[in-house]
């Protein structure tokens, strides 16, 4: 079964998360950073091309063998779908059309969601913004694994299984740990998505639908791009709760690897995040970072000091309600 993890609980801290303080200091020292804030004007075009590529591919493979369908789903379709899920991450921050057009961002999120096969764009936004606002909060940050996950997946073999099942935990954990009322936009997202799925099944067949949905789940498990799920906040160096990744896969993932920079400035589009590090290098050069998401996955599985418990957590703290932009 492999080595047993050494941790028996989360790393509990009683300090504030570091990003708000660093954001304030950087803006005071480098006010020009404000000019980077705003949407990515190219995102809507890039996402549209990606969605159309998936539409074409699911048509072309409708009569392929099952082996070809699954291999293509993992290597090609899953890579595109994972990138689209990270485009939805950007859209959740209103970085497609800006904060002045929240409905346009939500509708575009529905469109970007189509090849994924599973409705997620609205629900993701609802929980993800709390991950930013309450990072590490024992109640509100559902990015942190549940106690069940931490206690059950405690050795090399079960950590590998946990990575394979990660898309299911990531999708369903919020609904069990922090259930919320279903919104009208979530219902609309679900109706649009399942209507699209039915159309794919009806007109192209089951293999085209399996290509889309299996690609989504396979690329969130044991897949190079899925390394970002672990690299972002799992504690590889004691005391540090957010890590950036500086490597070539950022080109496929909207620079999500620049994760310290993203949490410091969530309203700066991924295409501009490297500029923050160039403007204020002294705030980032001394922070630990990753250079390989594949190595991150390897270390997570085989290093007994790393596991689901390797997260910094904070006691529940009540703060002021969400801002207007967080609810749009």
pLDDT tens digits for range 287-320: 999 999 999 999 999 999 999 999 999 998 765 4
pLDDT score recorded for residue 323: 46
pLDDT score recorded for residue 319: 53
Question: How large is the average pLDDT for residues 35-54?
Answer: 98
pLDDT-derived band at 273, boundaries 50, 70, 90: very high
pLDDT tens digits for range 81-133: 999 999 999 999 999 999 999 999 999 999 999 999 999 999 999 999 999 99
Question: How large is the average pLDDT for residues 213-219?
Answer: 98
Domain ranges for the chain, please list them: 1-36+226-316, 40-142+178-220
CA distance linking residue 180 with residue 121, whole number of Å: 15
């Amino acid at each position: 079964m492999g080595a047993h993890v050494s941790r028996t609980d989360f790393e509990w801290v009683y300090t504030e998360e570091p990003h708000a303080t660093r954001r304030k200091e950087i803006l005071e020292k480098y006010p020009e950073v404000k000019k980077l804030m705003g949407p990515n004007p190219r995102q809507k075009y890039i996402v549209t091309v990606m969605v159309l590529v998936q539409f074409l591919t699911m048509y072309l493979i409708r009569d392929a063998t099952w082996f070809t369908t699954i291999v293509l789903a993992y290597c090609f379709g899953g890579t595109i779908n994972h990138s689209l899920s990270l485009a939805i991450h950007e859209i959740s921050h209103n970085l497609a059309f800006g904060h002045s057009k929240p409905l346009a961002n939500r509708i575009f999120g529905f469109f970007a969601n189509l090849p994924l096969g599973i409705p997620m764009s609205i629900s993701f936004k609802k929980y993800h913004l709390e991950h930013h606002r309450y990072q590490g909060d024992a109640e509100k940050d559902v990015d942190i694994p549940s106690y069940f996950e931490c206690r059950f997946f405690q050795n090399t073999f079960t950590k590998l299984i946990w990575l394979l099942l990660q898309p299911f935990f990531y999708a369903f954990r919020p609904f069990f740990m922090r259930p919320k009322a279903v919104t009208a936009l979530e219902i609309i997202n679900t109706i649009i998505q399942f209507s699209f799925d039915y159309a794919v099944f009806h007109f192209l067949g089951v293999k085209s639908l399996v290509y889309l949905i299996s690609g989504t789940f396979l690329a969130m498990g044991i897949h190079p791009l899925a390394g970002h799920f672990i690299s972002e906040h799992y504690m590889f160096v004691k005391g540090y709760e957010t890590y950036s990744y500086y490597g070539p896969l950022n080109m496929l993932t909207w620079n999500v690897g620049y994760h310290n920079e993203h949490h410091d400035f969530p309203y700066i589009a991924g295409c501009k995040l490297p500029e923050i590090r160039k403007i204020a290098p002294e705030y980032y050069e001394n922070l630990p970072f990753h250079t390989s998401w594949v190595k991150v996955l390897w270390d997570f599985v085989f290093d007994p000091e790393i596991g689901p418990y390797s997260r910094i957590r904070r006691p529940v703290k009540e703060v002021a309600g969400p801002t207007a932009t967080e609810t749009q």
